[in-house]
Structure 1
Amino acid sequence: MPAATFDKPVNSTKLIWYFIIGWTVLNIIQATTLELQGDEAYYWMYSRYLDWGYFDHPPMVALFIRIGDMLMHNELGLRLFTVLLSSASIYLLWLTLKSYAVDALAFILVVSGVFIFHIYGFTTTPDAPLFFFTVLFYYLYQKYLQTDKWGLAVLLGITIACLLYSKYNGILVVGFTLLANLKLLKRPSFWGIVVVAIVLFVPHIIWQANHNYPSINYHLYERSSDKYDIVNTFSYMPGQLLMAGPLIGWFLFYKAFTVKIKDAFIRCLLVNCVATLLFFFTSSYKGEVQPQWTFILFAPLVMLTLIRFKQSGGWPKWLLPLAIVNVSIIIIVRIIIIAGFGFARTYGHLKSYYGFKQWTHIVKQKAGDNFVVMTDGFQNPSKYNFYTNSLKCFAYDNRYYRATQYDIWPMEDSLQGKRVFYLSPVPLNGFTNDSIKNEAGKWYYNWVDNVRTYQKVSIETAPLKLTTMPGGKTAFDLKITNPYPHPISFADSGYTHPVILEYCFFKGDVLTAVVEAKSTYKKITLQTGESTHFNFPVTSPLEKGDFNLIFSLRTEPFFGSKNSRVIKLTVK
C-alpha cells in the first residue's frame, strides 16, 4: 500500500526549507573541517591562473573557487560555491517537480539518500557546477516547453554555455534532450538558443585551438585504453547503484525506468537518464568509468522516481524505514570522515584528506622561500601551494606520468638556474636523500642547484600508430619547438646538468627501454617560438606485443619529461 502523503502546500514548503537548511549546515561543517582533496587543490591552482580553458577541464570551477577564495582563503572559501550550489540545485529540483505535485517527504527521503549528492555537496570539482547548471537547464527547459518565448531561449542558451564551461559531459544533456524532442528544430527560438550558446563558448574553442587541443587529445586519445578490461564493465552498474544510494539505489532505477511518459518533459528526463547510463556503460569498454562521470543522470533519475511515485498513487510504506537506514548510513560515514575516525585516515582516496597541513608546514620549514619541485603528480604540489597560499611548488610531469596544466602555466620558467628543494617518492642515486614522513606519506628530499628543465618543449612526429617487426628500425622526423619566452640550447657548456634526448618504450606502466639520440642534437639552439627538425631512428623491441613510445628530454636529477604525444606501437 502507498504511504500517506503531504497535501498541504504550506507544510510541504516549510518541510523542504527545513531540509535545505539542514543540508546546507551539514555541508558547511564538512567543508570547514576537512582538508582539501588533491583535485580540489589542483582546481584552486586553476583559479590562480584564470583563463578560458585548462588542460583537463573548462574554466567554470576556477571562477567559482576564485570568488570564494577572495572572501576567505581556507577550505570553506574554496568550497563555498559548491555548498551554495548544492542547496540551490535541490531547491530547483523541487520547483521543477512542483507541477507534478510530488510528495515533499518522498522528495526529502529520495534526495537525502542519493550518495553522490552528499559527495558533491561540499567537494569542489567541475562536477559541482555541472550538476547545478544541469538542474537549471531542466528547470528552464520545462518552462520553455510550456511557453515558447525568446527570453527563455536566451536564458537556455546562456545555461547551455555554462554547462559546457563546467564540464564537457554537459554536451550529453543537450544532445539527449534534442534527441527526445526533435520537434524543437521547428522552433525559430531553438536556433536562437544554439547561436547564443555557441557565441558564448567560442572563447574556449579559441583557447583549445591556440594550445593544440590538449583536452581533446587527453580525453579522447591518451585516456583510452587499448585493451578491454572486463572489470571496468562489471564494476560499472554496482558503482552507479551505490552512487544512487547504498540501500535504495536499485529501487530508484526501477521506479524511474517504469515511469509513464505523459508529456515531452518526462520523455526528456527518461531519454537523458537511460542514454547517459548506456553511454558510459559503452565507454567502459575503452577504460575505467569513474562513478562521478554520470553525475548528470541523477537529476533526471530523482525526478523520474518521484513522478512515478505520484503516478502510482504514492510510495510504498516499506520505503520509509529503508530510506531512513540508507541516509543514516551515509550520515554516519560523513561524521566518521569529518572526525577522521578509523578507516577514514587509511582507506583509498579518503586518506588524502588528512595530514597535508602538517606536511606543508614541515616542507616549508626546510625549503624556506625557495621553489619546491615534486614528481609524483599534480595533487600534492597543488596542496602545498594552497596551504602556503603561494605558487612556489612545481609539478614536474615526468615520462612515467601524464601531462597536466603544469605543462602550460609559466611556473617552470621561474625555476631555471635556481636552487630548488626537490621532493621525490623514491630515493635518488648520488644524492643525500633525507626524508620527510608523516601520516600523509613519505618523501625523499634533496637540494638541486642550477636547475635546468625542458618540460614544455614540444616534440611532434607522425604517425601516432605504428606496426613493426621485432627489432625493426623506423626513422622518426621530430619537429622540436621552443615555446619558452627565451632562447634554449641543448648544448651542455655552461650548465651544471647535461640534457639528454631519448626515446622510451613502455609496456603498460613499465619502462622497458631507453635509448639516447646521437650527439648531433647537442647542436640545437632555438629562439622563442622557433622549430627545427631532427631525425631519430628508433629500433623496435625484440619482444612482440603492444608498446607505448615517447620522446623525452631529461636532465639530472629529474626522470625526464614527456615531450611528445604517446605513439602506439605494435610489434608483430
Structure 2
Amino acid sequence: MATDQAKYSLHFWLLTLGLAVTKILFTLRPEINLFTEEAHYWLWSRNMAWHYYSKPPLVALLNLLSTSLMGHTEIAVRINAILSGIGVAWITFLFGSYLYSKKVGFWSAAVIQGMPFWWLASTFHVTDSSLTFFWILTIYFSYRGIKEEKKGWWVAAGIATAVGLMAKLVMALIYPSLLLFLFYNKKWNSQKINFLIFFAISSLGLVPLVIWNWQNHFDTFKHLAALAGADGIDLKQFKITDAVNRFIIYSNEQLAIISLLLLPSWLGMIYFILKRKNAVMAFLVTPGISAFWLFACLSLIDEVNINWPAFAYCGFAIALGKWMELQTKSWKVISKWGIFLSIGLPAIFLLPDFAKIKSNKLFRIKEQKVIVRLLGHRNLAERIDYLKDSLAIQKDFIFSDSYHTASELSFYLSGHPQTYVLNMGSRKNQFDLWNGMEKFIGQKNTGIFVSWNFDSMEGGAIFQQLIHEESFLSTYHGIPRRAVKIQIWKNLLEYRPNIPSSY
C-alpha cells in the first residue's frame, strides 16, 4: 500500500515538471513575446514603489528579483508564473493527500492543472499568478488550523494572506469565506481567538496600500470603485435585459475557465455535495462559490473580466479529486478523459511545432487570433532601433497613446529605455503618475511616436518638424498583422495630453 501511494508522488512530479517544461518551451519560441500586461508589470519593477495605481507591489518585486538574476528576458519574467503554477499544483497535491490520500492528492493536482485559469496564471506572469498560490496556501494552512486547533497554522495562514494581499487586493475575500465556514461548521467559538490573530497578522499586507494611497490621493480606491461601476451607473439607462445578458456571459465564461471538458464531472460533484453536506467538501467549495456569486452580482452592473473570481476555484479541484475516487468505473473514465484532454490540448497548442502538425495556414490564422497580444512587439522594437541607427538619432524618447505599447517597447528596445504615454482619451493608468514628456519641451530631443490606434497625435503634442513617418507591418508565419504608425519628430514645443477623468 505504501508503495502504491508513493507512486502517486512520482506521477505528480512527472506531470507537473513536464508541464513546466512545456511552458518554458513556449516562452522560448522566438515569435512569442511578453503579454502586454506582463510587460507593464515588468516596467513597474524598473520603477519600484510601495504600491501602484491598480495593483500591489508583489508582481513588480518578483520581476525585480528574477530579472536581476536572469537578465531582462521573457523567461526571466515568466519563470515567476511557472514557479507559481508548480506551487499551486504542489499545495493542491499536499492538501488532497492530507485530507484523503496521495491518490486523491494526485488527481486533485491533475484536475487543477487541466483548468484553463491555471494554464493562464502559470504561463503568463500576471498578478493572478502569485495570488492563486498564496490563496491555496492560505486555504491549506487555515484548514489545518481549524482541524488541529493549533495557533501555528493560523499564524502561517496570516503570513500567507499578508503576502497574498500584496499580490492582489481581492485576496481579502478569504476573510468572509473563512468566517462563513466557521459559522456554518459551528467552529467560531473555539476558533475566534485564532481567527483574530490570523486577521491581525494578515492585515500587515495592507500597509503598502495605505502608505502609497495616502501619498497619491487614494487613487487605488477610486480605481477599484470605478471597476465596480461606481462611477458609471446611470439608473435611468439601466436595462434588466442587459444585466441578464452580462450575467449569462459571465456564467458561461466561468464554466469555460474551469474546463467545459469536465462539465459532467463538475455537475456530478455538485450533486454529491448537496446530497451529502460534508463539512470538508463545504470548506473546499465555499471560497469559490462565494467569489463566483460576488462577481455575479457585479456582472449585473458592469462587465466582469473572466479571471476575476478564478483564483478562488482551487478547492474545487480537491473536491472533484475525492468525488472521482467514490464513483463508478464509467464516471472515472469520463472524468479522467476530461482531465487528459484539458491538460493535453493546451500543451499541444503551446509546444513548438516539432512534428509540423500546426503548419497549415488555416491553423496559423486561428493561432494568430488567439495569441495576437503576444506577437510583433520585438519586431516593432527592432524596426525602431533600425530607424534610430539609420537616421543617426541619439537624444530620443519613445512614446505611445497606449500604456501596453509603451511597456512592450521599453522591454524590447535596445537598452530598455523608460518610455512615455501621451494620454489621448484613455482612463488613468500608472504612466499618468510617473514623470511625463513635459520635461522634453524645448530640449531639442527627438520624439518617436508609436501607435496601433491613431495616425496622428491629434494636437496632444506639437513638435517643430516631422523627420520620418511610416506604417510598419509585421507578419506571423507570413500572415500580416495590423499596421502600426511610427512617426519621428524633432524638438517638442508643446505638450497637451488629455487629463483623464475616469479611473
TM-score, normalised with respect to structure 1: 0.73
Instruction: State the match for 1:47 in structure 2.
Output: 45
**Residue 17 (structure 1) aligned to one of 4, 13, 20:** 13
Letter of the 2:486 partner, please give it.
Y
Q: Residues 435, 253 of structure 1: CA spacing in aligned structure 2 closer, same or farther, 3 A cutoff?
A: same
Q: Which has the higher contact order (CA 8 A, sep 6+)?
A: 2
Letter of the 2:20 partner, please give it.
T
**Residue 427 (structure 1) aligned to one of 431, 455, 461:** 455
1:287 correspondence with 2:302: yes
* Separation (CA, whole Å) in 2 of partners of 1:406 and 1:194: 34
1:242 correspondence with 2:256: yes
**Residue 321 (structure 1) aligned to one of 337, 340, 353:** 337
Structure with the bigger percentage of helix: 2
Higher-Rg member (1/2): 1
Asked whether the 8 Å contact 1:160–1:174 carries over to 2, the reply is no
Instruction: State the match for 1:27 in structure 2.
Output: 23
* Separation (CA, whole Å) in 2 of partners of 1:17 and 1:444: 47
**Residue 219 (structure 2) aligned to one of 199, 214, 221:** 214
Instruction: State the match for 2:428 in structure 1.
Output: 403
* Separation (CA, whole Å) in 2 of partners of 1:249 and 1:363: 48
Asked whether the 8 Å contact 2:469–2:488 carries over to 1, the reply is no
Identity between Structure 1 and Structure 2 (%): 17
Asked whether the 8 Å contact 2:135–2:164 carries over to 1, the reply is yes
Q: How does 1:282-431 map to 2 (within 5 A)?
A: 282-312=297-327, 315-335=331-351, 342-344=364-366, 346-347=368-369, 350-367=371-388, 368-369=393-394, 370-375=396-401, 377-388=402-413, 389-398=415-424, 400-412=425-437, 414-418=439-443, 419=445, 420-424=447-451, 425-428=453-456
Q: Residues 150, 325 of structure 1: CA spacing in aligned structure 2 closer, same or farther, 3 A cutoff?
A: closer
Asked whether the 8 Å contact 1:244–1:252 carries over to 2, the reply is no
Instruction: State the match for 1:457 in structure 2.
Output: none
* Separation (CA, whole Å) in 2 of partners of 1:257 and 1:93: 22
Instruction: State the match for 2:478 in structure 1.
Output: none
Shift of residue 295, structure 1, vs aligned partner: 1.8
* Separation (CA, whole Å) in 1 of partners of 2:418 and 2:487: 16
1:70-109 per-position Cα deviation (integer Å, ceiling 9, x unaligned): 1222100011121111111101101011121253663354
Bigger shift: residues 60-69 or 229-238 = 229-238
Shift of residue 345, structure 1, vs aligned partner: 5.1
Q: Residues 253, 394 of structure 1: CA spacing in aligned structure 2 closer, same or farther, 3 A cutoff?
A: farther
* Separation (CA, whole Å) in 2 of partners of 1:284 and 1:181: 28
* Separation (CA, whole Å) in 1 of partners of 2:181 and 2:353: 41
* Separation (CA, whole Å) in 1 of partners of 2:3 and 2:278: 22
Shift of residue 329, structure 1, vs aligned partner: 2.6
* Separation (CA, whole Å) in 2 of partners of 1:344 and 1:415: 43
Q: Residues 66, 262 of structure 1: CA spacing in aligned structure 2 closer, same or farther, 3 A cutoff?
A: same
Runs of 4+ in 1 over 4 A off after TM superposition: 311-315, 336-341, 429-433
Asked whether the 8 Å contact 1:133–1:159 carries over to 2, the reply is yes
1:145-168 per-position Cα deviation (integer Å, ceiling 9, x unaligned): 123333323222111111111112
Shift of residue 407, structure 1, vs aligned partner: 0.9
Structure 2 segments unaligned to the other structure (5+ residues): 459-464, 476-480
Shift of residue 312, structure 1, vs aligned partner: 4.8
Helix, strand or coil at the partner of 2:351? helix
How many residues get paired?
454
1:5-58 per-position Cα deviation (integer Å, ceiling 9, x unaligned): 998211121111211221221122123323101010000011111112111111
Q: Residues 181, 187 of structure 1: CA spacing in aligned structure 2 closer, same or farther, 3 A cutoff?
A: same
Q: Residues 222, 275 of structure 1: CA spacing in aligned structure 2 closer, same or farther, 3 A cutoff?
A: closer
Q: Residues 122, 159 of structure 1: CA spacing in aligned structure 2 closer, same or farther, 3 A cutoff?
A: same
Q: How does 1:512-531 map to 2 (within 5 A)?
A: none
**Residue 443 (structure 1) aligned to one of 484, 489, 494:** 484
Structure 1 segments unaligned to the other structure (5+ residues): 452-495, 498-553, 567-572
Shift of residue 414, structure 1, vs aligned partner: 4.2
Bigger shift: residues 11-20 or 122-131 = 11-20
* Separation (CA, whole Å) in 2 of partners of 1:100 and 1:107: 11
Asked whether the 8 Å contact 2:410–2:416 carries over to 1, the reply is yes
Letter of the 1:196 partner, please give it.
I
1:204 correspondence with 2:209: yes
RMSD, matched Cα:
2.8
Instruction: State the match for 1:272 in structure 2.
Output: 287
* Separation (CA, whole Å) in 2 of partners of 1:42 and 1:6: 48
Asked whether the 8 Å contact 2:63–2:77 carries over to 1, the reply is yes
Helix, strand or coil at the partner of 1:113? coil
Letter of the 1:445 partner, please give it.
I
Asked whether the 8 Å contact 1:89–1:131 carries over to 2, the reply is yes
